Chain A
Amino acid sequence: MRLLKNILLFQRKLFFTSYFLSSLIGLIFGRDIKAIGLAFLFIAPLMHYFIYEIKNKHEYYYYYNLGLTNTKLWISTFIIGFIKFILLSVI
């Protein structure tokens, strides 16, 4: 449970920026809700790369000390992106 909460802490930083950017891109190019989901699928990993790999690389140590590897954190980003894409596709 503690690990899951820490993954959500990691994703919190990505979520709002990704949500805002994907909504903007989705509205500009697709003007429908599916386009927002599709944009989120690509924007979230981009934000992950920019926010953590470039801007806050040292924060990874916090997660490493909890046993969360780089691979696990990247997988969490893709899973959340995919869930959002599926949810918006269903709507």
Chain B
Amino acid sequence: MNTLHVDSINKSYDNNKILSDIFLTCKKGEIVGLIGRNGSGKSTLLKIIFGIEKCEHKFIQIGDKVINNIASRRTLINYLPQENFLPNNIKIKSLINLFQPKENRHELVNNDYIKPLLHKKNQELSGGEKRIVEILLIIHSNAEFILLDEPFNGVSPIVRTYIINYIRKIKSSKGFIITDHDYENVINLADKIMFLKDGVLKEVINQKQLVDSGYLTQNNYDMLIEASS
């Protein structure tokens, strides 16, 4: 089974260390939740893994393949940025045909959320509609590992629940790294939680730590424990 290995990532801005010797693994079928305060470097880390942000040092490997640039990770890693990124002036149906390989299109064009939007152009969609099209496009691709940067941003609670369930449904075929300000959804969804603070990434072994550091309320912690038992 393929594993994404991220090792020795170091990144500084103006002599300030943003990421220090980051080590992270994500197996196929696993959801890794990445949490941390604003400006802690979560998005920067995802961009470095995707290959669009430079850093002093990095080592990224999937299975036996060492990943050096965007072209070499084309069918291996896809990335959902925080910002809306779909081109304007083109219908969603055409975008699906252009973005997805043939075998993946059918399920997407028949999706209940996508179907009513097929003949609209990106600029005619609301923020929430744009986001769901983007998320489904990215997670439906052939990439083995998916990096989601704030996927629940601007999305209604119903759609959020749908996305969470959808990711759970397809997670056996892909590995996910997710970061979002909606910590509770990330914590709820993730198999493994990584906490980024002062440039250092640590795995959260006991979720009680998250209550102590203010990422989870006691009430929600109790609910999570109850749900998992």
Contact = CB atoms under 8 A, between A and B. Distances in A.
Interface residues of A, number: 19
B71 A65 contact: no
Interface residues of B, number: 26
A62 B86 contact: yes
Contacts of B90: 9
B85 A61 contact: yes
Interface string B134-151: 000010010100000000
Contact of B87 (A2, A13, A67, A68): A13
B161 interface: no
B101 A64 contact: no
A69 B69 contact: yes
B87 A59 contact: yes
Contacts of B143: 65
A62 B69 contact: no
The main secondary structure of chain B at its interface with chain A is loop
A89 interface: no
B98 A2 contact: yes
A58 B99 contact: no
B101 A2 contact: yes
B83 A61 contact: yes
Interface string A5-49: 110011001000000000000000000000000000000000000
B74 interface: yes
B70 A58 contact: no
B84 A58 contact: yes
A64 B99 CA distance: 11
Nearest to A72: B71
Given A2-B101, A5-B98, A61-B79, A67 B74 contact: yes
Interface string B61-91: 0000000011101110011010111111110
Nearest to B50: A64
B50 A58 contact: no
B52 interface: yes
Which residue of A6, A10, A58, A61 has the most chain B CB atoms within 10 A of its CB atom? A61
Contacts of A9: 87, 90, 98
Contacts of A64: 50-52, 70, 79
B138 A65 contact: yes
A58 B98 contact: no
A66 interface: yes
Nearest to B100: A2
Interface string B153-181: 00000000000000000000000000000
Q: Which 5 A-B pairs have the closest CB atoms?
A: A67-B74, A61-B85, A58-B83, A58-B85, A61-B81
